[in-house]
Amino acid sequence: MFPKGFMFGASTAAYQVEGGWNADGKGISIWDNLTHVHPDFIRTRENGDVADDSYHLYKEDVKALKAVGMQLYRFSISWPRVLPNGRINQINQAGLDYYMNLIDELLANDITPVVALYHWDLPQALEDIGGWLNPDIAQYFEEYADLIFKTYGDKVKWWITINEAWSVINGYGSFAWAPAKNLHGTGDYLAGHNLLRAPWESFTGLYQRKIFTLWRQNQYGVLWRNVFARHQMRQKTSQQPRDVINFSFGWFAHPVFKGDCPPIMREMVDRNSKAEGRNVSRLPYFTQEEINEINGTVDWFGLNYYTSMMTKNGITGDNPSTLRDTEMIQYWDPSWPSTASDWVKVIPQGIRALAKKVKEEYGNPLTIVTENGYPDHGDRDLDRIGYFETHLAEIRRAIYEDGCNIVGIAIWSIIDNFEWKDGYTVKFGIVEVDFNSPNKTRTLKKSAYWFKNYIAMHKLIQ
């Protein structure tokens, strides 16, 4: 059994479920822009214009969460829905009302909201002036965060700043996500640099205005960043490989827990930059003041885990690129069970190993597993049950055998939704959505009933 008080919940993200892409004064995001201007970017040429229509049907989502017995709902706010041009001079009241209604509906159903400020849908107006490559983004983020904290701070206790920093910067370093700049080895490092500066701006800005202190003391509000990591398993070779996750997970966790990027990352990118004949490193430096400011701007750890990879020493990837800088080759063992997503292989023990790493490296912070889930084509829901059963078992081992401070999980996802480049063909939901029906009918899958029983069993002791 999980310890008393362990919280079960589920996640979504604004662009993947809301639809209402231009409803009631919403501005355009980089995902609206990309999917409209380059429909071929998505394998199925689909987009999030309507998605699950959660903008109109959010009560159905809350009903589904309630039906399963979920205690947490982790969703994100669409920045351009509340600030159509990204800046504070134009506020869209209808957008603010939407999230207020959703939060009220959750609270009325005893479901705790866990709210992310940024799950990849940057206002296009900000992308037009450089997006995450523009150092001023830190101030824009502060303005936005300030508005959101002021509006919902008395109702929301759990905050996420940025979902999967690593995925955000890959929108600048590859064609994987919007804005698909493919500035590998340069733009991605710059975007990561500005991204790390953004939440501390909001953190200190609010602190100076005493709002943050207020929440901390009176409302137990927390600010955190969600760090994405695929756990890399070390291949046993005579030459010990360096840890690739210093370039993904560590890149974003180190600064907030320890003050700067991992030393090995600094050393390798500086060395490679020099060898390329550059005067300055492709990985920008923080000032000492920034290091001090960023250090400690975290109250809890959001851990997304889906899969693992093997690593071995070797040079691969575009020149230059973050991948090449790692001097490692990443691969999947062919024996690992595959899924509908080429990057997800089923390796439950990875979540325990990663949780242990978080404990050892960052002082055992309060942790919630903020994503974990199984993709199929609507055909392998029983395997999804197996996936959750084995991953939850590993989380229990992490708690009881390794002493990890994990207090909850929000699985991905409560409903089938727009799976980025895979459109609607890859499904992560425990609740099926009929995308062809006018009211996007939601139907509980077997995995939802399995979860319902699982949670009910645990509530017997709570």
Residues that bind ligand PNW (CB under 6 A): 13, 16, 163-164, 167, 228, 304, 343, 371, 412, 419, 428
Cβ neighbour number for residue 330 with a 10 Å cutoff: 16
Q: Is 201 exposed, middle or buried (0-12, 13-18, 19+ CB in 10 A)?
A: buried
Q: Which C-beta is closer to ligand PNW: that of 71 or that of 170? A: 170
Cβ neighbour number for residue 309 with a 10 Å cutoff: 21
Min dist CB 313 to ligand PNW, Å, is 22
Q: Which C-beta is closer to ligand PNW: that of 309 or that of 398? A: 309
**Chain position carrying tokens 């701006």:** 201
Instruction: Tell me the one-letter amino acid at 245.
Output: I
Instruction: Tell me the one-letter amino acid at 419.
Output: E
Min dist CB 371 to ligand PNW, Å, is 6
Q: Which C-beta is closer to ligand PNW: that of 13 or that of 298? A: 13
The token duo for 232 is: 């890399």
Min dist CB 454 to ligand PNW, Å, is 21
Min dist CB 428 to ligand PNW, Å, is 6
Q: Which residue is nearest to ligand PNW (CB)?
A: 343
The token duo for 78 is: 């669409």
Asked if 359 and 349 count as a contact pair (C-beta separation under 8 A), the reply is no
Q: Which of 60, 105, 164, 201 is catalytic?
A: 164
Asked if 167 and 179 count as a contact pair (C-beta separation under 8 A), the reply is no
CA distance 139 to 125: 15
The token duo for 383 is: 């395997």
The token duo for 379 is: 């055909």
Instruction: Tell me the one-letter amino acid at 266.
Output: R
Min dist CB 167 to ligand PNW, Å, is 5
Q: Which C-beta is closer to ligand PNW: that of 399 or that of 433? A: 433
- Cis omega (within 30 of 0) for bond into 320: yes
Q: Which C-beta is closer to ligand PNW: that of 240 or that of 338? A: 338
The token duo for 354 is: 């990663």
Min dist CB 384 to ligand PNW, Å, is 13
371 included as an active-site residue: yes
Beta-sheet strands, E only, within 198-245 = 225-228, 231-234
164 included as an active-site residue: yes
Q: Which C-beta is closer to ligand PNW: that of 112 or that of 304? A: 304
150: which residues sit within 8 A by CB, 6+ positions away?
211
Q: Which of 105, 290, 293, 371 is catalytic?
A: 371
Point out the residues that are catalytic: 164, 371
